[in-house]
Structure 1
């Protein structure tokens, strides 16, 4: 007959709505773990907190840890003792299989008391109301009623016209139906015909024009603005050798 083992595993995740600092504090108290063990618990690796064959005991551990904010899971491990005995090999031929999830070297302490400190009871104040009394109800309303004067409008000059069957509001004009021509679609990539205007080409008279030779001065002497400026005086400028080269 196959035996079932319930492994309670934890991967460092917390229940939604809890704070990490609060969860660590409660788990350290429940598991009697120091700072080094708590750092290993919240390292992101999956760690087995408890192994048991009792389903009810596993459910109690999960309930206690989830109330503390730890998102734990139960991993069911099934094993068949008869099949394991048939397929067993000598220790010299095959090493023992290592578990996929490491076991934690701590256990849960017995559940005594409350996980969270209960809120203190608020004592109701002892007020002396002997000087106060409730007035008798004599029918007087708590809020005074306001009287509103009704407007007196003279409508003697107005009358309602007889209904001769005509509409009070003119109906909206009917939208005429348009017969759209049957436009055909061309093949993809086809060039669309565009409307072009016939433009008359100009034929200017260029008989009196000629091209100048390259380098020819196109301006006359009287069209020039003036002599070009003299070159700058560089007699007082000296160059120093660059010794870094």
Structure 2
């Protein structure tokens, strides 16, 4: 299945006005002035890529109605595989000045770096711990030290006796209701 890309190089359809095309594209792409300046810089800008034929035609017709002359290009279907050259011979690591400081070959828990290319050759003399992979379910977090409780002086507090009311102190009962027997409604 052929794939296509849509590219724009600031070319206008015959008879189209630059300002109206800019306004149309700003509305179409919801673009600000900076993006419009980039679109109309004259460079070839790929607007959309990896489209099928129907979608590419839809984009082309929409952009041409807006006044922009676009280029529809077929993408290469096959991706060219590039065969990499074999890595160069590793560079000789400088001999350590003190043989006692060099890590022991095959020492348990130490990593021996074998250079795969000229960039990794710089790490041949590095003495690094060999960190393995923990078994599934292991706890990798370091143990937290026990924290001593802070010293608190609680001597000013006491416990209430069992069954006592721990709520607010009850208010005194209100006085008797006022005598309103002498009040009458008039008609």
Q: Which range, TM-score by smaller chain?
A: 0.3 to 0.5
By percentage of residues, which structure has more helix? 2
**TM-score, with structure 1 as normaliser:** 0.33
**Higher Cα radius of gyration:** 1
